[in-house]
Structure 1
Amino acid sequence: MSVTVEGEKNFEEVTSIQNKAIRLNLNENIYGTFAEIGAGQETVRHFFRAGNASGTVAKTLSAYDKDFSDAIYGIEDDGRYVTEARLTTMMRYETGLIEERISRLKHPNKLFFSYANTVATIDWAKKYKGHGWLGIRFQTKPKEDYSEIILHVQFHENNAGHQQISLGTMGANLIYGAFYHHDDPKYLLKQLYDHLSTDKIEIDAINFTGPAFTQVDNRLMSLELVKKGITQAVMFAPNGNNVLPASILYKRNILTLRGSFRPVTRVNMAMYKKSLKLFLNERKVDKEKAVVIFEITLSNLKGEGEIDEQDFLDRADLLGSLGQTVMISNFQEYYTVVEYFSQHTKERMGLTMGVSTLKDIFDERYYRHLSGGILEAFGKLFFKSLKIYLYPSKDEETGEIITSENLKVHPRMQELYQYFKDNGRVVDIADYDPETLDIHSRLVHQMIKEGKPNWESMLPENTAKMIKEKGLFKGK
């Protein structure tokens, strides 16, 4: 489905790519290089066609041959070419050359830049759609340190020529945005899709660095990609930098915990640690290839209406301090996240969840939009090499501990539930901590917000300390 990216400045007429190129070419101070590998020289073509390209283009090259590329930029540690490391090497090498070859004494007002992309378009067999990295290293003031915008794209068109055109359009938008919208990164992100749509090209990772973006939190930019429908899921590392999902998930054994983590509690960490132990003991799980993902959905972030960005950052800070990789997704049902992971791996996967969540999975209401209903969803969910690790709950009225053995689903679903349980797809976490069953994150959040005492014991020690020191979750 095509998605037109919405933004704050929709009242403006979208500038044509030609007019963007002309405006850049007529700015006597913007001057730089273009290095494009893997899909022709589609970006710089716009600047040549617009006219007066000599005012902007210092050099353009396309080192398609790997030996030529290595001779210019060196050999990457992993020997690969369509990588972020290769893109960064290209941009920094080229800005080094322009600084060396263009006299600052002769051109004191020049704003130098290097634009680069390294991509692989769709293969002849049309088995792999293609992907790539593009970025710009640029100055907003003469002699200023360089800022960078780096993004990863997935191609969705089934024709290499069309992919090249889309790449060239996005490249021109990126250069224009860097110089004319760097003070408004959210709008810059939106205008990357001028004359494009997400059914043509998808951005699934983006990072802003340097003096032009000192106030930018890349986690918020990552969140923006999902909010605007540009991509379905993004990830960021414990240090807060956005990371390419494919680099984290590729051929990995994946264990996922979904929640609001507002805040992350002792029960969340108990579920994580106990399920991870079970997961790593699985015969089909390679301990060296296992990765844990803490997933927060947009619906979890919108629990009380519009997304509160500071509230989101508070949760991210806490998970990051615990060393966790976080995924923000637009997936509602669990089968959709499993399908997403399956694009990157065929290895054993695990879902960690509580009793109420498992009960919801067996609720037919959530699958009415599927022509095959719940059976279609379960075919997608359990067809894969997947197990559910179930953390028990306690009935607040009777005190009974609820596990997979006494969980009650709708009578129509009982046989289906029993089938998956009997086939070992649902695994009880028997080694649970009874004290954690009385902990509920909503109650903890309310206590923090209202300044009530004794919430600290419900959280990991360092988490409670961090909340107090930074004043997190207050007044929200």
Structure 2
Amino acid sequence: MRKRDTTLTTDQKALAINLDKLKYGSIVEIGAGQEVARRFFSVGAAAGTVAKTMSAYDMAVSDDIYGQADRYVSRSRLLQMLDKEFSLVVKRLTHVRPKNTTFFAYAATVTARSFKQKNECHGWVGMRVQLHPGAEPSDVVMHVRMLDNDNALQSEALGILGVNLIHGMFTSFQNPEWVVESLADGLGSERIEVDLIHFSGPYFEEVENRLMNLHLIRSWLTRAVVFNPNGEVVVPGELLYRKPVVVMRGTFKPVTLVNVDMMCAGQKQFAQLEAVDENEIVSLAEITMNSLVTGDNVDGADFLTRIDLLASQGYTVMISDYLRFFRLRAYLRRYTQKPIGIVLSVRDFTYLFDEKYYEGMEGGILEAFGKLFPDNTHVYVYPSRPRGSEAAELVTLDNVTVPANLRHLLAHLKENRKLLAVQPLDDSHLHIDAADVLAGLRRGHGDWEHDVPDTVAQRITTERLLGFDTE
């Protein structure tokens, strides 16, 4: 089985493209210098690849070239740049270049570390390219965050990223996963984060972009990606910026009526906080990568089914690599100083108060909880009723059992309103267990259909999802 060549340096990639006389195009960059173009020029033979470079820093100049834009660092501005530059290079050079030339345009619009202030360092990067001579072009567009604390280092990282993208699109376009993986070459996960990527155009018509974004996490290019209820990937920072956030973690295999009630009840209580405007709340259904991976593999069909079923119920879905809750809180805190609410079932106390879960941390469980509750973050605890038990046998925050040496810690968190009990809106669903539902649906029609929303049951049975009727 052929493997991706991971040995090439940035300069070797740039030189390989330069020496291919049939790949020709423009490189335009706004913000953080012209590092991508510089990379191609510095290795030599750039005349074989670069038709034009440009950096339209002045807003009036940029508007005159590309048209008006509401925001200069945005996806819409990037697409304006790609439209303009690709059409120009094709129009000007088709009749003077060899007929088997493939044209491209690379564009970036970013805001790097400011001289005067510590601003959010991010931007949009993309490429439009003919993958065969004379073909209609295909695109890749991505949102990036620059993690270096120095402007020069951020520029350098963007230069490496741009070379990786151009080289990857020309050499690995038949395997989009390799294009994604190659973005991190020479960078690692400490310098650049890519939290959205989108392939489009005739050559990528069959590419499932949700799987490509999941591959960003697998490739250590980001720790989380977010899908809106339409199944579209969105930039987390744009969705969460200065908003109160409530998140419910689960496997959602499938989403059940108890999940629905848990989120509704938790969000209702979260909205009662003085600092929360109910109309601004962003609610997330979060799935960890740990629950999607079997061995070294991700079941793509299983992942897409869970996303689709959650979307059918109107949920915004986050896929994250944050197994520990305090890391999830820290991620959300990047984008908002408003309250954060984490809704979980009392059943989750099995591992929330399991000290083995925090092995490797110098301060153990105390350090973990200290990082989970440093500011206006609350955990909302939803009760449970074991299947087949009497109606009164509820397990709640008030009677849940934790190890004896942690009882005072639990009492402290309750007393200081870090852990808050959630009152169900419909307590008839408290017995539902997702594992039982999954086992039931794999046997075919049955009682499990009463434990999930009607539309979810209908889709599972008609589309034979999640292994329906296979046992």
TM-score between both structures, scaled by the size of structure 2: 0.92
Q: Which residue of 1 aligns with 2:403?
A: 410
Structure 1 pair 431/328, CA: closer, same or farther in 2 (3 Å)? closer
Alignment RMSD, CA only? 2.4
Q: Is 2:337 aligned against 1:343?
A: no
Q: Which residue of 1 aligns with 2:131?
A: 140
Q: How does 1:82-161 map to 2 (within 5 A)?
A: 82-103=73-94, 108-124=99-115, 127-128=118-119, 130-161=121-152
CA distance in 2 between partners of 1:345 and 1:358 (Å): 27
Deviation at 1:411, TM superposition (A): 2.2
- 8 Å contact 1:9–1:187 — kept in the other structure? no
Corresponding residue to 1:454 among 447, 450, 455: 447
The one-character-per-residue Cα deviations of 1:347-377 (angstroms, maximum 9, x if unpaired) are 0111111111145323333223222222222
The one-character-per-residue Cα deviations of 1:292-331 (angstroms, maximum 9, x if unpaired) are 1111001121368743121111111111222222111111
CA distance in 2 between partners of 1:210 and 1:441 (Å): 39
- One-letter identity of the residue aligned with 1:363: D
CA distance in 2 between partners of 1:384 and 1:443 (Å): 37
- One-letter identity of the residue aligned with 1:209: S
Single out whichever of 121-130 and 291-300 deviates more from structure 2: 121-130
Deviation at 1:54, TM superposition (A): 2.9
Structure 1 pair 307/288, CA: closer, same or farther in 2 (3 Å)? same
- One-letter identity of the residue aligned with 1:174: L
- One-letter identity of the residue aligned with 1:179: F
Structure 1 pair 365/20, CA: closer, same or farther in 2 (3 Å)? closer
The one-character-per-residue Cα deviations of 1:277-306 (angstroms, maximum 9, x if unpaired) are 222233211223210111100112136874
Q: How does 1:302-451 map to 2 (within 5 A)?
A: 302=293, 306-396=297-387, 398-399=389-390, 400-451=393-444
Q: Which residue of 1 aligns with 2:291?
A: 300
Structure 1 segments, 4+ long, off by >6 Å, are none
The one-character-per-residue Cα deviations of 1:182-226 (angstroms, maximum 9, x if unpaired) are 110111111222222222222222111111212211111111121
Q: Which residue of 2 aligns with 1:4?
A: none
Corresponding residue to 1:164 among 143, 147, 155: 155
- 8 Å contact 1:151–1:203 — kept in the other structure? yes
Q: Determine helix, strand or coil for the equivalent of 1:221.
A: helix
Deviation at 1:145, TM superposition (A): 2.7
- One-letter identity of the residue aligned with 1:446: A
Q: Which residue of 1 aligns with 2:197?
A: 206
Q: Which residue of 2 aligns with 1:468?
A: 461
**Identity among equivalent pairs (%):** 38
- 8 Å contact 1:253–1:291 — kept in the other structure? yes
TM-score between both structures, scaled by the size of structure 1: 0.91
Contiguous gaps of at least 5 residues in structure 1: 1-6
- 8 Å contact 2:349–2:402 — kept in the other structure? no
Structure 1 pair 102/301, CA: closer, same or farther in 2 (3 Å)? same
The one-character-per-residue Cα deviations of 1:108-132 (angstroms, maximum 9, x if unpaired) are 4332221011122223467447222
- 8 Å contact 1:129–1:156 — kept in the other structure? no
Single out whichever of 373-382 and 34-43 deviates more from structure 2: 373-382
CA distance in 2 between partners of 1:310 and 1:85 (Å): 31
- 8 Å contact 1:31–1:58 — kept in the other structure? yes
Single out whichever of 123-132 and 379-388 deviates more from structure 2: 123-132
Q: How does 1:21-100 map to 2 (within 5 A)?
A: 21-77=14-70, 80-100=71-91
CA distance in 2 between partners of 1:324 and 1:112 (Å): 41
Q: Which residue of 2 aligns with 1:230?
A: 221
Corresponding residue to 1:285 among 276, 280, 296: 276
CA distance in 1 between partners of 2:372 and 2:128 (Å): 43
CA distance in 1 between partners of 2:333 and 2:186 (Å): 31
- One-letter identity of the residue aligned with 1:9: K
Q: Determine helix, strand or coil for the equivalent of 1:455.
A: helix
Q: Which residue of 1 aligns with 2:13?
A: 20
The one-character-per-residue Cα deviations of 1:45-98 (angstroms, maximum 9, x if unpaired) are 222233333332222110112221122223322xx3222222122111212323
Q: Which residue of 2 aligns with 1:3?
A: none
Contiguous gaps of at least 5 residues in structure 2: none
Single out whichever of 111-120 and 121-130 deviates more from structure 2: 121-130
Structure 1 pair 106/28, CA: closer, same or farther in 2 (3 Å)? closer
- One-letter identity of the residue aligned with 1:443: D
CA distance in 1 between partners of 2:47 and 2:219 (Å): 36
CA distance in 2 between partners of 1:433 and 1:129 (Å): 42
Q: Which residue of 1 aligns with 2:170?
A: 179
Q: Determine helix, strand or coil for the equivalent of 1:113.
A: strand
